[in-house]
Amino acid sequence: MSTATGGTEVGVRELSYAEAIREALRQAMHADERVILLGEDIGVYGGAFGVTDGLLEEFGPERVRDTPISEAAITGCAIGAAVTGLRPVVEIQFMDFITLAMEQLVLQAAKMRYMFGGTVTVPMVLRTPAGAGTGAAAQHSGSLEAWFAHVPGLKVVAPATPADAKALLLAAIADPNPVIVVEHKLLYRTRGPVPEAPAPAPLGVAAVRREGRDVTVVATSVMVPRALTAAERLAAEGVDVEVVDLRTLRPLDAETPAASARKTGRVVVVYEAVKTLGIGAEVAARLVEGETFYHLKAPVVRLGGAECPIPYNRTLERAAVPQEEDIVAAVRQVLAEG
C-alpha cells in the first residue's frame, strides 16, 4: 500500500491528467484480458499526446494495436470486437476526425442494443483529445461533444481533473454501452491528486467543485479550472461563486445544477463548444422547465464558443473560446440583472 506523503491521503499521489488516463488503462488491462487498445500511433509512438506510452511494451502488440489511418475502420473494428466479447478502447487522435467515424458510432454502436432487443451490447470506449489552445487550427481544435450527447445509446463524459480522468475512464470501460471520453488537450499536463486504487466514478453524476451563495457557474471540461480561477477573482470583490462540474454530458445530471440554482438564484453555463445548440442550452432548458425556474432571480446566461471554426492565429484562437475574464464578466452580468 502506498504511504501518505506531503499531507496527502494514503494511496493518493499527484499525477498528470495524461498519467491518470494511462494508469486507468493499465489497471483495466491487468484486471481484464478482454480490454484491448486500438488507434493510430498508440503503440510505438505512444499516442499523439503520449497517453499510451509504454503500454505496447507492457501488454504486447496483440492488445495494443497500431492501426491504419482510417477512423471509420478503427471504430468499426472496435464495435465488432465489442459485440463479440472484447472491451476495446479506441483513441482518435483529434476529435475533429471523429466525424469520419460518425456512421459507425451513431448508426451502429448507438443503436445495436435497441435494434436487437437488448440481446447485444457494445462495451467499447472511444477516447479523443478535443479543444482549442494549442495553435492547431480549425481541423484539430474542435469540441464536438454536443453532437454525440444528442444521440440515444451513446454516453459522453468530459473529465476536468486527473482523478476524474482515471475514475470516469474506468467506469466507461466497465460500462456495457459505447462511451465517448472527451479529453481536453490543455488538461493533459495539469496535475492533481489521484487515488492509486482502481475506483470507477459513477457516470451521470455532477460534482460541486466550489461552494458559494451568490451565483452558480455550471462548467464542463477545461472550463472547470477556468471557472474556479474566476471564482477566486470574484471572491476578492465579495462575490461568492459556486462551481458545478457536469463531468458527464450524457446521461446528464440535471439535479445537481438545479439544486445549486435554487440556492444561488443565478446561473452561468460555460462551455468551449460553439454556443448555439450546445450543452448550455440543454442545461438552461432543464433549469427553466421545472420548479427551479421560480427560484431564479435573473435569466440564465450561456457562455460558449464563437460561431466560427477555431482560428490559427493565437490571439483569435484565444478570443474564440471563453477565458477566465469572460466568466468573470458573465457573472457580473447575471448579478446586474437580478
How far, in Å, CA of 268 to CA of 284, rounded? 9
**Cα-flanking dihedrals φ and ψ of residue 245, to 5°?**
-100, 115
How far, in Å, CA of 77 to CA of 88, rounded? 9
Produce one character per residue of 194-228: b if its CB has 16 or more CB atoms within 10 Å, e if not: bbeebebbebbebbebbebebbbbbbbbbbbbbbb
How far, in Å, CA of 161 to CA of 193, rounded? 9
| CB 6, CB 12: distance < 8 Å | no
Of 19, 140, 184, 242, the catalytic one is: 140
Instruction: Work out the angle between the directed axes of helices 279-289 and 255-264 (0-180°, nearest 10).
Output: 60
**Cα-flanking dihedrals φ and ψ of residue 163, to 5°?**
-65, -40
How far, in Å, CA of 145 to CA of 305, rounded? 13
Q: Is 295 a catalytic residue?
A: no
DSSP secondary structure string, 295-308?
Answer: G-SSPPEEEEE-SS
Q: How distant, in Å, are the alpha carbons of 37, 149, 316 from that of 52?
A: 9, 26, 32
Q: Is 255 a catalytic residue?
A: no
Could you tell me the three cell numbers for 2? Answer: 502506498
Of 71, 145, 183, 272, the catalytic one is: 71
Q: Give the residue numbers marked as catalytic.
A: 71, 140
